[in-house]
Structure 1
Amino acid sequence: MSRRLWQILGPVICAIFLVVCLIGFYPNRIIYSMKNEKKDAVSLTKTNFKSKYKKLRAFNDSNTQFVPFFGSSEWLRFDAMHPSVIAEAYHRPYTPYLLGQRGAASLTHFFGTQGITETFKKKKAIYFVSPQWFVKSGTNANAFQNYLTNGQIVDFLCQQKGTSYDQYAAKRLLTLYPEVPFNEFLKKVSKGKRLNNKDIKQLAFQSYLLKKEDYFFGQFSIDFGNYAKVLEQVKKLPKDFSYSRLEALAIEEGEAETTNNEFGIRNEFYQTKIAGRKRQLRGNQKSFDYRISPEYQDFQLMLHQFAETETNVLFIIPPVNSKWAAFTGLDQEMYQQTVDKIKYQLQSQGFTHIADFSRDGDKEFFMQDTIHIGWKGWLEMDKNVNPFLTKESEKTNYQLNPNFLTEEWEDYIGDPRDFSR
């Protein structure tokens, strides 16, 4: 009986043993590869988004200036004017490293950058902050759990300083994911308690194992063809850079790809997402309100992190397709109040680099679909991104206001300038 059992389980046990040994003895060192890093920068797979190793490899590579472009699903839309395409075609001194997934928002980015914050020290970043993130329920719990890793949690716990920001982040994590791994440690942090020596040693061991695993699997590049898409789009662009020529091409593409609907939405998106349920979608956003949301506190977590690392950040605020907003009943006045609240939270704390496109949703071919910019919108964004990343900037002077981490700010709907008073 035992022999038969060994014949069945033996190969499995041996395979597991070999994998454990291989990972255990794999060196903790980064193997740089420009080819793989370029692919990773536009991969937009969940694996890449979660990998600490891949981010460290790119952001520590002294041969190429990879710049983090934080966002959600907008980076997935590769047309000829996409920032990765423009940077590749015209040999910009920087390469966008796209950090975004559907449903990702500030809390996901906060935990996703744990353990790599030093790579942003006194550097620059682009942060696409969408008012659609600021829903009343806050970030989607399932999406958040889907992008969270044990390594991110351990890195967060290993960097505790006992601040109100640490306490808030731990509480928020436990609320969205009550059965999260290492929740006993997180409960301590959420109550403002310091981790003891035994806790720290246990976390250090976990960190060692998780780092080994990530470094082993992180060396492999999973490519679903996005870099090939970028190179294909590059071929469409004029050899010499010219905004006027690029704008003409953007209009040409926009006209060709928005022929089956009255909203200026890409044909494919309209056909697959809207056409079959257009009647149900009419007026369905009348009750939407982005002014009250825990996302404002989550956003403050990222601002605190950027302040800690003195990272110079350009924030991009997108519009909504105006024709679509009118069709669905989205209150544009409420949208502008949301934008004002976001901008006040930024500007009053010293985050002064903001590209606000929130009023441009009625411009032809600015939007690619209902909420994502494209074509001419990418070009307008580039007019802000390129000089920000290529010219010298003043030294950051952030002055954080802890009141933005409170429920009072989350619920505040008055004039933002009156909040501090």
Structure 2
Amino acid sequence: MITRRTLLKTTAGSLAALGASLVGADRLMFPKLENKADGSRVYDYVYGMPKSEAIEFVLTNMSEDGRFCFGTSEFYFSKDLIPEVPQAVFGEHNTGVDMTVIGQPYDQSLWQAIACGAYMGRAKNHECVLFVSPQWFFKGNGSRSNFTGLFNYELYRAFCQNTMISGELKATIRQHVLNLGIDAGTVAAANQDTPADALNDLQKHEQNTLRIRSELEKMVAGAPSKSRERTINYYTSEPDWETLLAQASDEGANRCTNNDFGIYDSYWTRNSHFSPEQNQTFDQAEDEWGELNLFFQVAQECGASTLVVMLPMHGPWYDRVGVPQETRDGYYQRLRDATDTAGVTCADFSLFEYERYFFADTVHPGWRGWVHIERAIYHFIMGQDDDCLGGWGYGTATAEGLDDMRGAKGDV
């Protein structure tokens, strides 16, 4: 008769053999993620998946000047539409700053906290940047309910293995993950609660690694080639911000011809009647505010110096859909208070709501917006003053954007 103990030993042995075979198979079929990739390309600005979950690949191939920038769809836009995006301003030059972007559409605070824990314990540089969108704090906690579909096992696994993060904070985030619908067995595997969970973790990890490695060639091909400046390692110092702003105004004017909102033409044609911002009050997202604070705690325990980019609301658009200035100002102040309490710096763009071409659409940074954001990030990393920087180490931000879109009505 086979006893229960014998059965368990046999099962464990079989699982171990399966795990070993998976490890051997993927290492024979595909290159290791920790290997150096094609050195003629820049990988920091590749956006989305599988790059953001390819932890070893990212850490091995990121720029020596790279700082992790956690965000969502603002990183989607290419220089074909907006020539002032970070890939061009930083990625094509040697300024001493690169933005190693991590994220995908609809990620919010909890996802970002996990990603921060996955990466910042092993980061080359201690500064990190979090892009915070007003949409996270729409009624019902924004898109927080999408977490189940966005949850990434590899990032959560690496978060759990980060010894810089306290057991108490790991337990808190674990409970949030469970509350949002992630299977308890999956969570136990990532935490390696038992020997069986550890074997389950190995199997999941090797399957994910095999998948990521199979997509590596496509990931590499999607990375931009190094400019001559980077190839010969020619240092170009700080970008000429005023020249970039003038260029941005010209580019924006060329792209925005069918509306008075500074929105690029094809977006306006498709979405001018789409208004999820309508009736938003920013007072029904307590879970999201709590998870934003979890991000700050993770970053602090990882020894990171954090900059929050406070993305503003599109003033004329929010006027159009009936969200009053008082409501918007209340959101901005709460975010300032949150960053002050956490002891982090804030790039405050709340007074840029009415600057034409700050936005490309109703949500995302555009031509002038990216220049302002990049300048603030550059000065934060370099330890320099900037009128847009406030909070820890800087006091109150004093910058005001142009006021050349107030009263905009719509079509032209």
The alignment partner of 2:296 has SS state of helix
Cα offset, 1:216, TM superposition: 4.6
Between the two proteins, the alignment pairs up a number of residues equal to: 353
Contact 1:43 1:222 (C-alpha < 8 Å) held by counterparts: no
Cα distance change on mapping 1:229 and 1:103 into 2, 3 Å: farther
Cα offset, 1:67, TM superposition: 1.4
Partner of 1:182: 186
Cα offset, 1:327, TM superposition: 1.0
Cα distance change on mapping 1:212 and 1:361 into 2, 3 Å: same
Equivalent residue for 1:127, pick from 116, 125, 130: 130
The alignment partner of 1:68 has SS state of strand
1:295-321 deviation per Cα after TM superposition (whole angstroms, max 9, x unaligned): 111111111111101101111101111
Cα distance change on mapping 1:65 and 1:218 into 2, 3 Å: farther
1:219-264 deviation per Cα after TM superposition (whole angstroms, max 9, x unaligned): 5243497644997xx9xxxx99422322221111111111011211
Alignment map for 1:1-40 (pairs within 5 Å) = 21-23=24-26, 30-33=34-37, 35=39, 38-39=42-43
Cα distance change on mapping 1:152 and 1:127 into 2, 3 Å: closer
Is 1:297 the counterpart of 2:290? The answer is yes
CA separation in 2, counterparts of 1:243 and 1:298?
A: 34
Is 1:331 the counterpart of 2:324? The answer is yes
Partner of 1:201: 195
Equivalent residue for 1:222, pick from 204, 210, 218: 218
Cα distance change on mapping 1:378 and 1:229 into 2, 3 Å: farther
Equivalent residue for 2:143, pick from 140, 154, 157: 140
Cα offset, 1:112, TM superposition: 2.8
Cα distance change on mapping 1:34 and 1:44 into 2, 3 Å: same
Cα offset, 1:69, TM superposition: 1.2
Cα distance change on mapping 1:335 and 1:221 into 2, 3 Å: farther
The alignment partner of 1:116 has SS state of helix
Cα distance change on mapping 1:217 and 1:305 into 2, 3 Å: same
CA separation in 1, counterparts of 2:355 and 2:226?
A: 25
Partner of 2:105: 102
Contact 2:41 2:223 (C-alpha < 8 Å) held by counterparts: no
CA separation in 2, counterparts of 1:173 and 1:358?
A: 31
Partner of 2:68: 68
Cα distance change on mapping 1:100 and 1:302 into 2, 3 Å: same
The alignment partner of 1:355 has SS state of strand
Cα offset, 1:167, TM superposition: 3.5
Partner of 2:16: none
Partner of 2:337: 344
Alignment map for 1:18-417 (pairs within 5 Å) = 21-23=24-26, 30-33=34-37, 35=39, 38-39=42-43, 41-58=44-61, 64-78=64-78, 79-120=82-123, 123-138=126-141, 140=143, 143-158=146-161, 163-179=167-183, 181-183=185-187, 199-219=193-213, 220-223=216-219, 227-228=223-224, 241-274=239-272, 278=273, 281=275, 285-293=277-285, 294-351=287-344, 353-391=345-383
Cα offset, 1:375, TM superposition: 0.9
Cα distance change on mapping 1:308 and 1:270 into 2, 3 Å: same
Cα offset, 1:369, TM superposition: 1.0
| TM-score, normalization by structure 1 | 0.72
Cα offset, 1:141, TM superposition: 5.1
Cα distance change on mapping 1:244 and 1:329 into 2, 3 Å: same
What are the ranges of 5 or more consecutive residues in structure 2 without an aligned counterpart? 1-19, 231-235, 386-390, 393-412
1:76-126 deviation per Cα after TM superposition (whole angstroms, max 9, x unaligned): 122111122101233222321111221111111122344433123861111
Cα offset, 1:139, TM superposition: 5.1
Cα distance change on mapping 1:206 and 1:390 into 2, 3 Å: farther
Contact 2:69 2:100 (C-alpha < 8 Å) held by counterparts: yes
CA separation in 2, counterparts of 1:304 and 1:379?
A: 29
| TM-score, normalization by structure 2 | 0.74
Q: Indicate the RMSD between aligned Cα atoms, in angstroms.
A: 3.6
Cα distance change on mapping 1:312 and 1:32 into 2, 3 Å: same
1:175-194 deviation per Cα after TM superposition (whole angstroms, max 9, x unaligned): 221535435679xxxxxxxx
Contact 2:121 2:162 (C-alpha < 8 Å) held by counterparts: no
CA separation in 2, counterparts of 1:245 and 1:153?
A: 42
The alignment partner of 1:316 has SS state of strand
Contact 2:67 2:98 (C-alpha < 8 Å) held by counterparts: yes
Cα offset, 1:18, TM superposition: 8.4
Letter of the structure 2 residue corresponding to residue 102 of structure 1: P
Cα distance change on mapping 1:230 and 1:145 into 2, 3 Å: farther
The alignment partner of 1:97 has SS state of strand
CA separation in 1, counterparts of 2:254 and 2:173?
A: 46
Segment of structure 1 superposing worse, 28-37 or 299-308: 28-37
What are the ranges of 5 or more consecutive residues in structure 1 without an aligned counterpart? 1-16, 187-194, 399-421
Cα offset, 1:208, TM superposition: 3.8
The alignment partner of 1:314 has SS state of strand
The alignment partner of 1:109 has SS state of helix
Cα offset, 1:172, TM superposition: 1.8
Letter of the structure 2 residue corresponding to residue 222 of structure 1: K
* Greater fraction of residues in helix: 1
The alignment partner of 1:348 has SS state of helix
The alignment partner of 1:373 has SS state of coil
Cα distance change on mapping 1:199 and 1:70 into 2, 3 Å: closer
Segment of structure 1 superposing worse, 141-150 or 382-391: 141-150
